[in-house]
Structure 1
């Protein structure tokens, strides 16, 4: 798991705005969110992990154990969600259940590249966000 403790910087995205529209976000929120491109890092401590994002609004840390569901909030509106991260080799899959529906963020690490593939129950397409290790 060579990606552990590496910082990944945002490079580009595909169809992320389409995903956000499908979950019902208003256009003004979508415009803000697609600009949000925080650095990402995954840190491991024994059987626990900390997923760290560092963006314009500061640092956010999410602590989890692989396969264990927990409650969290997302967005500026603090929408309550249930989420489960599963770490399996070079793939970290996040399953989210929110009032707006369900979504999967599949983070695939390959060398110095990270591709986040986003799907959802209300979204017929696939969105992707690309990152590169520093």
Structure 2
């Protein structure tokens, strides 16, 4: 995987505020997307396990996911969301997040050597947001 083990930092967003406003997204998603430029690293541990390291405002979080399997993740407020990660080829990670309110968010991360282009769509709107990350290390 071309992206495995590389650290990226968010550099710009397009249409994200409009997307979040149109869907009344839950506070956790809004916070993660709007927070100061997070750093993210995805590492493929074996053929079916993905490690995501996320650093936001100096706080580090790590999550390990089995590809293709739905995982329950606790939110800061004690609630849960269900997430599924899949990998396409050597350069795309897809993520589906099912919220307790029944809405679903879709994230498609397209990697190249020096950047990630993340395309975000959500149930309830035709809008698409895009978030760009650049390689840090």
TM-score normalized with structure 2 length: 0.85
* Aligned length in residues: 132
The corresponding residue for 2:83 is: 83
- Residue pairs, 1:1-134, within 5 angstroms: 1-25=1-25, 33-46=33-46, 47-56=48-57, 58-74=59-75, 76-89=76-89, 90-100=91-101, 101-134=103-136
CA RMSD of aligned residues (A): 2.3
- Give unmatched runs, 5+ long, in structure 1: none
Structure 1 runs (4+) deviating above 6 angstroms are none
**Cα separation, partners in 2 of 1:41 and 1:84, compared to 1, 3 Å:** same
Q: CA deviation at 1:19?
A: 2.1
> Does the aligned pair in 2 maintain the 1:21–1:30 contact within 8 Å?
no
TM-score normalized with structure 1 length: 0.86
Q: Report the structure, 1 or 2, having the larger strand content.
A: 1
Q: CA deviation at 1:57?
A: 5.1
Deviations 1:43-92 (A, max 9, x none): 12113111111110511111101111110134x43541111000112110
> Does the aligned pair in 1 maintain the 2:40–2:54 contact within 8 Å?
yes
> Does the aligned pair in 1 maintain the 2:119–2:129 contact within 8 Å?
yes
